[in-house]
Amino acid sequence: MINIEHRDRLVAVTVFGEFALADYKEFEELVNYKIQFSGPIDLLFDLREMAGFTLDVAWEEIKFSRQHAHDFRRIAVLTDDQWLTWSAWVSQLFVDAQVQVFDDETEARDWLGSAAETVE
């Protein structure tokens, strides 16, 4: 299950339990809409409550990242899991956005906010 918050050029996703393909598709749809009307956006992924993800989500994420390699400015990942930290760094290979891993939500949002200030 996911919860999505969005405003201006920010999309924030919180994942609870298993991240399933239907959840990812919901995320994709919103991001595609925001990119179409706002241009490059910032993402905040809160994965602290994620129990895991399905294999089809992993594959969809790779395809989506490659399609949108230039559509993200900054991506903040909230996690304390070393495996997810490592995978966040690997995802930088597919996008030209700045990717940063955080364990504190306020720091993550401040970092994303500093990017928004330079654009406006």
Domain extents in the chain? 2-119
User: Model pTM?
Assistant: 0.86
Residue pLDDT, tens place only, 45-75: 999 999 988 889 888 888 888 899 899 999 9
Question: Cα(88)–Cα(101) distance, rounded to whole angstroms?
Answer: 7
Q: Do residues 52 and 18 touch, judged by C-beta distance below 8 A? A: yes
Residue pLDDT, tens place only, 73-99: 999 999 887 766 656 655 665 688 888
CATH architecture of 2-119: 3-Layer(aba) Sandwich (3.40)
Laid out side by side, the sheet with 41-53 consists of 2-7, 10-19, 41-53, 72-78, 98-102
Q: Do residues 73 and 98 touch, judged by C-beta distance below 8 A? A: yes
In angstroms, how far is CA 89 from the centroid of its own chain? Answer: 12
